[in-house]
Amino acid sequence: MALLPILHFPDPRLRTKAKPILEVTDQIRTLAADMLETMYAAPGVGLAATQVNQHIELIVIDVSETKDQPMVFINAKITPLTEELVPYEEGCLSVPEYTDSVNRPARIRIEALDLDGKAVKIDADGLLAVCIQHEMDHLSGKLFVDYLSPLKRQRIKDKLVKREREKVRVR
């Protein structure tokens, strides 16, 4: 297993739309394992393949307190199960050190393939529902900052760009 570099906003590669996975292979299973290792090390509760510059429909999630309940979803589709939107304070490994409230459907259904290529269907609410929707957004080239006002989004972008410049100068 290997730790993968995570792309940071405003990297344009984060806007790339992911393509469906045609076959669940050992290469896909290895990527999923590497993504889980990367997510745990970051630390985070979810990671989309887009965030590690792999533009395929693959997300990994573990919202458990003990970090021992990994979930892998391939070619997922989500359906809201309610019109009720709930606010949730979201952060993102691609937008480090920033959080903000985002409104999302309170309950969803996800239908996907697992690492064995078998169909799975899960109804989710709470943190799991938020995390699934957040990671699915990445596969469409969308980030949680896109839900914020243009002014907030620009401020975050400016600060992250400045931080990256300062890192380069220090090296």
Binding residue positions for Fe cation: 92, 134, 138
> Which residues are bridge partners to 88 per DSSP?
102
Give the CA distances from residue 75 to residues 61, 81, 120, 123, in Å, rounded to whole numbers and listed in that order. Answer: 14, 19, 11, 16
152 contacts 100 by C-beta, under 8 angstroms = yes
> Which residues are bridge partners to 78 per DSSP?
110
List, as residue ranges, the binding site. 92, 134, 138
111, 135, 164, 166: which one is catalytic? 135
Q: Could you tell me which residues come within 8 angstroms of residue 13 by beta carbon, excluding any fewer than 6 positions away? A: 7, 50, 53, 55
135 assigned to active site: yes
Which of these, 31, 23, 22, lies nearest to 72 by C-alpha position? 31
Give the CA distances from residue 95 to residues 35, 38, 91, 126, in Å, rounded to whole numbers and listed in that order. Answer: 17, 15, 7, 22
Active site residues: 135
